[in-house]
Structure 1
Amino acid sequence: MIGENDIKHDVVPQSRNLDIGEMLAVELTPEEERKVLRKLDFILIPLMGCAYFLQFLDKLALSQSTLFNLRQDLNMHGSEYSWASAIFYFGYFFWSWPSSYVIVRLPIGKYLSVSVFLWGGILMCHAACTNFAGLMVARFFLGVGEAAIAPGFTLLTGMFYKREEQPLRQSAWFFGNCIAVLVGGLIAYGIGSISTGAIEHWKLLFLILGAITSTYGIVLFLLLPDSPAKAVFLKPSERTITIKRTLQNKTGVMDNGVFKWSQVREASIDPQVWLLVLNSFASNLCNGGITSFTSIITAGFGFTDLKALLMQMPQGAAQIVFLLITSLAATFVPSCRILGMILNTIVSVVGMLLIWKLNPAEQVGRMVGLTLGVVYAINLPISLSIVTSNVAGFSKKSVTSALLFIAYCVGNIVGPQFFLASEEPSYPTGITAAMSGLVLSIFFLLCLYVYYTWENRRRDKLYGSPADMTVGAELREELSNKTDRQIESFRYLL
């Protein structure tokens, strides 16, 4: 047991509103810890999961609207649809870097809630578009509205959960993405089946989804916490337990509202950061095209427009199966996060090969290929769990998340440009480019695995085993907001 005097008070932000002596005096029992963990899992994770469900549902809306004559009504030709898909990520890119600064300076829960409310309103504005230019403006600002969500949820997961708990929890809120893929086509099918002559179905799709999203933003404003110290659904004693149980993470319990530029500089020269960024770019060369063109590709397999929406449901089922396998393995099997990501990417490469090489007449085989081809997408939550587990320092973590999503945007901007209008609906050039991106992703993941292994062994030889640290030393390191490269006892999780 360590005393209050063992900790310097100036490393703990006054905004945390927790008494350090009280926190150190708390002895955690396994039952108390399990109780708090259950409450977090049943309240915090569903809050984030529902928001992510709506985000991907809204993202799918553009692809689905092509089956409701969006392109014809807006008189779009040639590569204009590809640019309408890509401009969303220009908005995402534009706001990702400022967001990494703002998210540290403002209460994170409130900031994310307002972002959700605004992006819902922007989605409804899509229904007012009458030409390609108007759609481009709406798509750009939709990207701005959504840019903070995934990085913000990543930071919140790092605040509330231990490092070994994070892969499963990152996957749990990302599960909303898989559900959106699974039922998104069904929802669009239902909206498309509404009998109305007053408004086009693609406009109805944007209006309904946007209204639901903005309403949910209000729910988040009331319930989503800014930090463990301000979680309204936790009792004061449970907030103390939440903070103390994550001290061994050494990645920062919460921020103090100060953006550290020294941590920005460190992030810019950290090999792990750039390997994560390059992997994000490579995998999203595939994501940009497949997400935007999946409805057109599916219809090209010989399905009617409405049936093509329903045939996207197996993609969600495949993602759910591999998400469960990978996240559970990453939680309970040591050193297998990156290996699981490699496995998922290999499955997607096989799927892309089926689409590319099978004859157009082999409808079932190509549909299986498209279903397997989207499995790579579930690597995102595991990649984010690597950020929350292996990047210490709140500002560095925020910047790393921003860089990751900037690369995500660039990949999604470049990817659709390989889907040439003259090759509709099979898009052989686009499929080849997507497959090439996935192969590059495998290479960067292998490099990351080798780097973490080498760095951990180097630190063991230089500093000795981190198991020899006292509780007081661990607490000082956690509250100091140092980075992973500054903490001698820090070891990377593979």
Structure 2
Amino acid sequence: MAKTDKPEQKPHGSDIQVADILELQPTQEENSKLLRKLDLRLMPVMCACYMLQLLDKLTLNFSSQLGLIQDLNLHGSQYSWTSSIFYFGYLFWTWPSSWLVVRLPLGKYIAVTALLWGAIVMCHGACNSFRGFMTVRFLLGAAEAAVAPGFALIVAMFYRRDEQPLRQGLWFAGNCIANIIGGLVSYGIEHIHSPLANWRVLFLVLGAVTAAYSVLLWTFLPDSPTKARFLNTREKKLAVLRTLEDTSSAMDENDFQMYQVLESLKDPQAWLLVMYTFSVNICNGGITTFNSLLINGFGFGSFQTLLLQIPIGGCQLAVLVVMSIMASMFKTSRLLLMACACALSLIGMVLIYALDHTNAYGRLGGTYLAAVFASNTPMSLSLIASNVGGFTKKSTVNAMLFFAYSAGNIVGPQLYLSSQAPVFITGVSSTIAGFCLGILFLGILFTYYVLENQKRSRHSDTDSEVFTEEERPETFINKTDKENPRFRYLV
């Protein structure tokens, strides 16, 4: 290999040298065993955490059927603002969090934020005014800002590019499970006879569960492959080796690279993902907050409304499973699958908009279809994990995506005007427009990736992403996709 002046690299917090890692020659059986071990130790922990996060977020939706609006005397647009202020908090902490996930031990940071957001959820149950409720909603949004971007980075550190779509989908399945069991939990709490209002009990119970789970996160969620206590020394080396030869390889070196932040802000793919994310999350903000009120407006009672939201999670889970498997089988299918999911949700919103008000079950089916676009979130994160090189750049683009996610969720509820209840014609119409724009931005992003790959191939001697003997794979650790001439974008 050619000599370089660059000092020998080693993963942060470890005595493992990259040169030692490259000398390993693992068998296929070793690699398969390690992959199974990573799946069994990481995926359940992350999936359960994300399930709790969405459950805590959905408490606002469910509590609207448990007396929250009446007890806090919310009127006009105040209920909409209790949703939007959550995403103001999320947006406020997104950028600081993108810096902290690089500077702090990632697993421990996520565990601490889980403890904080669990405590804040419990504080919801003590609120007696709109002002107090708005305060805890803002703090909850800030506390939850680290989880999804942090999980996306963990997948990028532990899994190869072709393995990432399925694993991003596995932990995101917690989102679907939360939708399935959230209605059951709320329905059960509705039948509790307590001196406290049922909506207060809901916040107290779910918040306490999350706070307790943070201890498990602290114990079992690793900061990086070299700090994973469930791996022995050789397995740690193999875990790094598995991703080292990926052109998108990035290891947590606790070193924040400002030039990578600036590159992110000039990257067309980042801004196309931002515009797509903002457009479709206009729907997410409205549906997540107003689903109960929409279904209730179709003519169903409060108990029925809680139970009828259970199939939403089932629909999301079915689409997520299909998309994750297909994206793993076909390397160039991610953007097409995302566009298809958006199209299904678009059809659902058109049904809600166009069907007669007496067709309650047809419009209910529309709400089920409208929610399946949420399965695109892990696909978006897998695009960043696969198509963005450099740990700081990945973190920054993740932050940009969740900044847009917050903005869309802030705008969405404001378009569901209380004066239009239970039809919410402005909110439904804006959601239809959002899905149309989302599909458009995905098409532009696909075109950009194809043209950029063709351009790189014209200026390169080879289309191969495999390093030659003259090249040092460690040279490309934490280099961005713009810096690596062998980088090719996956679509």
TM-score tier after normalising by the smaller chain length:
over 0.9
Structure-to-structure mapping, 1:147-296, within 5 angstroms = 147-196=145-194, 198-296=195-293
Work out whether 1:373 is the aligned partner of 2:352. no
SS of residue in 1 equivalent to 2:367? helix
Tell me if the contact between 1:318 and 1:375 (Cα under 8 Å) persists in the aligned partners. Answer: yes
- What is the alpha-carbon distance in structure 2 between the residues aligned to residue 148 and residue 471 of structure 1? 39
What does the per-residue CA deviation read over 1:256-279, in whole Å, with 9 as the maximum and x for residues that have no partner? 111111011100110000001111
Tell me if the contact between 1:351 and 1:373 (Cα under 8 Å) persists in the aligned partners. Answer: yes
TM-score normalized by the length of structure 2: 0.97
Q: 2:473 is matched with which residue?
A: 475
Work out whether 1:315 is the aligned partner of 2:312. yes
Work out whether 1:91 is the aligned partner of 2:89. yes
Work out whether 1:335 is the aligned partner of 2:346. no
Task: Name stretches of at least 5 consecutive residues in structure 1 with no aligned partner.
Answer: none
Tell me if the contact between 2:467 and 2:473 (Cα under 8 Å) persists in the aligned partners. Answer: no
Q: 1:104 is matched with which residue?
A: 102
- What is the alpha-carbon distance in structure 1 between the residues aligned to residue 333 and residue 384 of structure 2? 15
- What is the alpha-carbon distance in structure 1 between the residues aligned to residue 470 and residue 315 of structure 2? 46
Tell me if the contact between 2:8 and 2:17 (Cα under 8 Å) persists in the aligned partners. Answer: no
Q: 1:391 is matched with which residue?
A: 388
Q: 1:447 is matched with which residue?
A: 444
SS of residue in 1 equivalent to 2:177? helix
Work out whether 1:37 is the aligned partner of 2:35. yes
- What is the alpha-carbon distance in structure 2 between the residues aligned to residue 14 and residue 292 of structure 1? 42
- What is the alpha-carbon distance in structure 2 between the residues aligned to residue 418 and residue 186 of structure 1? 29
SS of residue in 1 equivalent to 2:299? coil
Q: How far 1:300 moved relative to its partner? A: 1.2
Tell me if the contact between 1:251 and 1:394 (Cα under 8 Å) persists in the aligned partners. Answer: no
Q: How far 1:24 moved relative to its partner? A: 2.2
Q: How far 1:406 moved relative to its partner? A: 0.4
- What is the alpha-carbon distance in structure 1 between the residues aligned to residue 40 and residue 274 of structure 2? 32
SS of residue in 2 equivalent to 1:491? coil
Tell me if the contact between 2:149 and 2:399 (Cα under 8 Å) persists in the aligned partners. Answer: yes
- What is the alpha-carbon distance in structure 2 between the residues aligned to residue 103 and residue 361 of structure 1? 50
Q: How far 1:248 moved relative to its partner? A: 2.2
What does the per-residue CA deviation read over 1:399-451, in whole Å, with 9 as the maximum and x for residues that have no partner? 10001000000000001111000111121110111111111100000000000
Q: Which amino acid aligns with 1:237?
A: R
Tell me if the contact between 1:392 and 1:483 (Cα under 8 Å) persists in the aligned partners. Answer: yes
- What is the alpha-carbon distance in structure 1 between the residues aligned to residue 164 and residue 384 of structure 2? 10
Q: 1:358 is matched with which residue?
A: 355
- What is the alpha-carbon distance in structure 2 between the residues aligned to residue 200 and residue 489 of structure 1? 60
Counterparts in 2 of 1:180 and 1:306: CA distance versus 1, 3 Å: same
Q: 1:298 is matched with which residue?
A: 295
Tell me if the contact between 1:250 and 1:477 (Cα under 8 Å) persists in the aligned partners. Answer: no
Tell me if the contact between 1:7 and 1:476 (Cα under 8 Å) persists in the aligned partners. Answer: no
- What is the alpha-carbon distance in structure 1 between the residues aligned to residue 462 and residue 321 of structure 2? 33
What does the per-residue CA deviation read over 1:263-322, in whole Å, with 9 as the maximum and x for residues that have no partner? 111001100000011111001011100110001111111111121111011111111111
Q: Which amino acid aligns with 1:95?
A: W
Q: How far 1:476 moved relative to its partner? A: 2.7
- What is the alpha-carbon distance in structure 1 between the residues aligned to residue 267 and residue 312 of structure 2? 35
Q: How far 1:17 moved relative to its partner? A: 2.8
- What is the alpha-carbon distance in structure 1 between the residues aligned to residue 87 and residue 379 of structure 2? 21
Q: 1:419 is matched with which residue?
A: 416
Quote the RMSD (CA, aligned, Å).
Answer: 1.4
Work out whether 1:456 is the aligned partner of 2:453. yes
Q: Which amino acid aligns with 1:355?
A: I
Q: 1:139 is matched with which residue?
A: 137
Tell me if the contact between 1:288 and 1:414 (Cα under 8 Å) persists in the aligned partners. Answer: yes
Q: 1:49 is matched with which residue?
A: 47
Q: How far 1:134 moved relative to its partner? A: 0.4
Q: Which amino acid aligns with 1:59?
A: K
Q: Which amino acid aligns with 1:74?
A: L
SS of residue in 2 equivalent to 1:16? coil
Q: 1:27 is matched with which residue?
A: 25
Aligned partner (choices 409, 414, 419) of residue 406 of structure 2 = 409
Q: 1:15 is matched with which residue?
A: 13
Q: 1:436 is matched with which residue?
A: 433
SS of residue in 1 equivalent to 2:459? helix
Tell me if the contact between 1:63 and 1:292 (Cα under 8 Å) persists in the aligned partners. Answer: yes
- What is the alpha-carbon distance in structure 2 between the residues aligned to residue 17 and residue 119 of structure 1? 35
- What is the alpha-carbon distance in structure 1 between the residues aligned to residue 225 and residue 238 of structure 2? 9
- What is the alpha-carbon distance in structure 1 between the residues aligned to residue 276 and residue 447 of structure 2? 14
Q: Which amino acid aligns with 2:17?
A: D
Q: 2:61 is matched with which residue?
A: 63
Tell me if the contact between 1:6 and 1:472 (Cα under 8 Å) persists in the aligned partners. Answer: no
Q: Which amino acid aligns with 1:470?
A: T
- What is the alpha-carbon distance in structure 1 between the residues aligned to residue 148 and residue 287 of structure 2? 20
Once structures 1 and 2 are overlaid, which stretch shifts more, 88-97 or 311-320? 311-320
- What is the alpha-carbon distance in structure 2 between the residues aligned to residue 25 and residue 317 of structure 1? 46
Q: Which amino acid aligns with 1:256?
A: E
Q: How far 1:22 moved relative to its partner? A: 3.0
- What is the alpha-carbon distance in structure 2 between the residues aligned to residue 6 and residue 466 of structure 1? 24
Q: How far 1:363 moved relative to its partner? A: 1.1
Give the count of matched residue pairs: 490
What does the per-residue CA deviation read over 1:226-248, in whole Å, with 9 as the maximum and x for residues that have no partner? 10000011111111111001112
Q: How far 1:192 moved relative to its partner? A: 1.2
Tell me if the contact between 2:12 and 2:252 (Cα under 8 Å) persists in the aligned partners. Answer: no
Tell me if the contact between 1:250 and 1:474 (Cα under 8 Å) persists in the aligned partners. Answer: no
Tell me if the contact between 1:452 and 1:492 (Cα under 8 Å) persists in the aligned partners. Answer: yes
Q: How far 1:6 moved relative to its partner? A: 7.4
SS of residue in 2 equivalent to 1:489? coil
Q: How far 1:14 moved relative to its partner? A: 4.9
Q: How far 1:20 moved relative to its partner? A: 3.2
Q: Which amino acid aligns with 1:491?
A: R
Structure with the largest fraction of helix: 1
Work out whether 1:484 is the aligned partner of 2:476. no
Percent identical among aligned pairs is 47
SS of residue in 1 equivalent to 2:356? coil
TM-score normalized by the length of structure 1: 0.97
Q: Which amino acid aligns with 1:96?
A: T
Q: Which amino acid aligns with 1:35?
A: K
Q: How far 1:16 moved relative to its partner? A: 3.0
- What is the alpha-carbon distance in structure 2 between the residues aligned to residue 8 and residue 35 of structure 1? 34
SS of residue in 1 equivalent to 2:362? helix
